[in-house]
Amino acid sequence: MSEIKKLEILGVPVDMVNMAQAAERLEELMRSEGCSLIVTPNSEIVVNAGQDSELMEIIRSADLVIPDGIGLVYASKLLGSPLKERVTGIDFLSWALDFLEREGKSIYLLGSRPGSESVPGVAEMAAIKMKEAFPGLKIAGTHHGYFSKDEEQEIVDDINECGADFLCVALGSPKQEKFMARHRKGLKVKAAIGVGGSLDVWAGEVKRAPEFYRKHGLEWLYRLVQQPSRYKRMAALPRFMIRVLLSK
Ligand code: UDP
């Protein structure tokens, strides 16, 4: 496997990759044995990992740690080893969908709000939109993200029985990372990725920030305006920057 340099940010080893390198790494992981773990930490997840040793251990043992968040890019500059670019989980997922389509491989979507009699669930809706964007993509199956621990094995069995090659887990952090780590050995998929709210975006439930915000590293501001209830979570960003400064 090709060597990827890592940068430790508050104890979290982040892979110093741009999109092309992350993509290349995914191709390698899809060819390797067992279920590889891909995580997409932002500054909030890095701060949480400092207080949650299980989450920290999972990130440290992941096969690809993508720097998803402008906070990580700023932190890397402060630490004197600038990350090449911010690789958002959602952009990486789009690349992965394209790759899976080209390779004839299938994806299973797990997470987000369940459907009702009149409205499809977010994962089902995301699957429809993904098929529109990547007509050759095989959707192995979908399942919503509101289940109990007792139901987990049944879901893992379903993922395996569908013959899915790639698993997309959208349960929010740290739920998604812990789910993937707990079932890593029992999963037959080649790789699993935690994608936070990406299925909501694919399904059209949440709008992604327009180009201007993305280009200027202001996606967090757009999300704050769209979902003001997230302000407490966003307060993690300045806290994170101060900790990085102190850790220098
Ligand atoms: N979610 C879920 N099960 C849960 C809690 C959350 O499926 O028990 C879903 C939720 O519906 C949303 C996603 O997990 O689709 C979390 O999104 P959030 O925006 O919090 O993730 P972030 O991208 O900020 O990590």
pLDDT, one tens digit per residue, over 149-189 is: 999 999 999 999 999 999 999 999 999 999 999 999 999 99
User: Would you say how long the chain is, in residues?
Assistant: 248
* Cβ–Cβ < 8 Å for 177, 58: yes
* pLDDT for position 200: 96
From the CA of 199, give the closest atom in ligand 1.
15
Pairing of β 106-111 and β 166-170: parallel
231 in any annotated domain: no
From the CA of 122, give the closest atom in ligand 1.
15
Burial class (CB in 10 A: 0-12, 13-18, 19+), 245: exposed
Percent pLDDT > 70 in the chain is 99
Q: At 211, is the pLDDT very low, low, confident or very high (cuts 50, 70, 90)?
A: confident
From the CA of 145, give the closest atom in ligand 1.
7
Residue among 120, 123, 186 at smallest CA distance from 153: 186
220 in any annotated domain: no
112 in any annotated domain: yes
Tokens representing 108 are 């299973």
Query: The pTM is what?
Result: 0.94
Q: What is the Cβ-side half-sphere exposure of residue 198, based on CA atoms within 13 angstroms?
A: 24
Residue 200 Cβ < 6 Å to ligand 1: yes
Indicate whether 1 pLDDT > 80: no
Radius of gyration of the chain measured on its C-alpha atoms: 17
Maximum Cα interatomic distance, the chain, rounded to a whole number of Å: 54
* pLDDT for position 216: 84
Residue 111 Cβ < 6 Å to ligand 1: yes
28 in any annotated domain: yes
175 in any annotated domain: yes
* Residue nearest ligand 1's atom 6 by CA: 171
Quick: pLDDT tens for 5-43: 999 999 999 999 999 999 999 999 999 999 999 999 999
122 in any annotated domain: yes
Q: Find the mean pLDDT for residues 225-239.
A: 80
Residue 137 Cβ < 6 Å to ligand 1: no
Residue 43 Cβ < 6 Å to ligand 1: no
| Tally of domains in the chain | 1
Range of the domain at 117: 6-208
Distance (angstroms) between ligand 1 centre and the Cα of 248 equals 32
* Residue nearest ligand 1's atom 23 by CA: 196
Residue 69 φ/ψ region, left for φ over 0, alpha for ψ in the -120 to 50 degree band, beta for the rest: left
Quick: pLDDT tens for 196-205: 999 999 999 9
Tokens representing 3 are 């060597």
* pLDDT for position 235: 78
Residue 106 Cβ < 6 Å to ligand 1: no
109 SS3 class: strand
Distance (angstroms) between ligand 1 centre and the Cα of 2 equals 32
Indicate whether 124 pLDDT > 80: yes
Element (H, E) at 206: none
* pLDDT for position 27: 97
Distance (angstroms) between ligand 1 centre and the Cα of 160 equals 23
Quick: pLDDT tens for 59-117: 999 999 999 988 999 999 999 999 988 899 999 999 999 999 999 999 999 999 999 99
189 in any annotated domain: yes
* Residue nearest ligand 1's atom 20 by CA: 172
* Residue nearest ligand 1's atom 19 by CA: 197
Residues 6+ apart with CB under 8 A from 82: 73, 76
CATH number at residue 72: 3.40.50.10700
Residue position matching structure tokens 């307060």: 235
Burial class (CB in 10 A: 0-12, 13-18, 19+), 220: buried
* pLDDT for position 180: 98
Quick: pLDDT tens for 21-31: 999 999 999 99
* pLDDT for position 2: 63
* pLDDT for position 232: 77
99 in any annotated domain: yes
* pLDDT for position 220: 80
Q: Nearest 5 degrees, angle CA 188-CA 192-CA 195?
A: 155
